[in-house]
Amino acid sequence: MNSELLEHLKSFLVEKGGEALKKARDIVLDERLECEEIQKALRYFMVEYWNDCTTPSLLFLACEAVGGDSERLLDFASAMILVNGAIDIHDDIIDRSKRKDGRPTVYGKFGVETALLVGNALLMKGYTMLAEDLYRKFGREKAAKVLDVLKKGFFELGEAEALELKFKGRFDVKPREYLKVMHKKAANVDALMRAGALLGGATDEEIGLLGKYGRIVGLLSILHDDVVDMMLPEEMKHRIKYESLPLPIIYGLNTQKTRQTLLKLLQEKLVKATLDKICEVTEKAGGIRKTRMYMGKQAMDGKRVSSKFPKIQDKLNLILECLTKE
């Protein structure tokens, strides 16, 4: 990925969402718990691990796209950071992910029981906070609409996670089958953008368009990770053993010329030489190229949506470009 473009995006996200992240951290750190282990785990997650400026930034952009005042969404954005953090911790437990991006996860550092309890605490704190904020600032009717949007989005995400579990250990998954589930898995970003648009006073058409953009961004984030994981032996090893296979390998397994070679490699001991060979065969099969082509088509759809919102079009396009650049 173009490093200058990536730094530009990081700076934008920190500038846009940094205040909401700081507030979310302060809220959690102000809690005083008798259990020292849970307190330490919460502090580790919020201070050293969870740097989620993307959630508030997308929420604010959706609000501003329709002429709304995003400053009113600060508390709601902080609450959503906690909710998404809880989901991330629970995902790590399901996937047995002890490390991510070179750092221990809460599950990896503190164990499954503590991770589960920390995730539950963040989920309850975040949801209670966002519901109270919505009813106080936006009234019963609008609050109910936003909560319904979030409920549907997170239920769809949960369904997608359950469907994805069925891909574990399978070498017969079809690309269309995988992409259908990943599309559902992007429901939380769709819901986030719809919520921001709703709170900004959007029309039904605008809400639908921004939800579509969120769905595309969520899907591109998943597929971006699939491509990146192909370049990281330890991540790829973990995917093969405990999670669904990345889309490029799925494409390779569905290519007649490379299927048998990949099947043999995937069942060997996953040492670095084997993992490198899997990557090499996948690339020869066009798995990475096909994945990037699909991502490119999604980004084009996203840009067609962003053109409807000229006030923030450049920011929406920046996110799409960073997710699809090599």
CA end-to-end span of the chain? 4
pLDDT at 2: 61
In the structure, what pLDDT confidence band is assigned to residue 181 with cuts at 50, 70 and 90? very high
pLDDT at residue 326 greater than cutoff 90: no
Element containing residue 103 per DSSP (H, E): strand 103-104
CA atoms within 13 A on the CB side of 292: 14
5 band by pLDDT with thresholds 50, 70 and 90: confident
pLDDT of residue 32: 85
Q: Which of 4-8, 19-23, 98-102 has the lowest mean pLDDT?
A: 4-8
pLDDT confidence bin for 254, thresholds 50/70/90: very high
Mean pLDDT, rounded, for 299-304: 98
Average pLDDT, stretch 317-321? 96
3-class state of residue 232 by DSSP = coil
Q: Is 97 within 8 Å of 105 (Cβ atoms)?
A: yes
Count of domains for the chain: 1
pLDDT higher than 90, residue 37: yes
What percent of the chain is predicted at pLDDT more than 70? 99
pLDDT of residue 60 exceeding 60: yes
Given a contact cutoff of 8 angstroms between Cβ atoms, the answer to whether 23 and 78 are in contact is yes
Point out which residues pair with 103 in neighbouring strands.
100
Cα dihedral across residues 126, 127, 131, 132: positive or negative = negative
The pLDDT assigned to 102 comes to 86
Q: What does the DSSP 8-state code read for residue 269?
A: -
User: Dihedral through CA 142, CA 145, CA 151, CA 153, nearest 10?
Assistant: -110
Average pLDDT rounded to a whole number, residues 146-158 = 97
Quick one: pLDDT band at residue 17, thresholds 50, 70, 90?
very high
Q: Which among 152, 142, 124 is positioned nearest to 214, based on CA atoms?
A: 152
Provide the pLDDT for residue 122: 97
pLDDT surpasses 90 at 93:
yes
Q: What is the mean predicted confidence (pLDDT) over 171-183?
A: 98
User: Given a cut of 60, is residue 315 above it in pLDDT?
Assistant: yes
pLDDT at residue 21, as a whole number: 97
pLDDT of residue 219: 98
Given a cut of 70, whether residue 1 has pLDDT beyond it is no
Could you count the other beta carbons within 10 Å of the beta carbon of residue 111? 13
Mean pLDDT, rounded, of the chain? 96
More confident residue, 2 or 107: 107
Residue range of the domain that includes 29: 3-324
For 128-147, what is each residue's pLDDT tens digit?
Answer: 999 999 999 999 999 999 99
Contact present, 236 and 252 (Cβ < 8 Å): no
pLDDT at residue 184 in the model? 98
Please give the pLDDT value at position 130. 96
The CATH code of the domain that includes 200 is 1.10.600.10
pLDDT at 33: 87
Query: pTM of the full predicted structure?
Result: 0.95
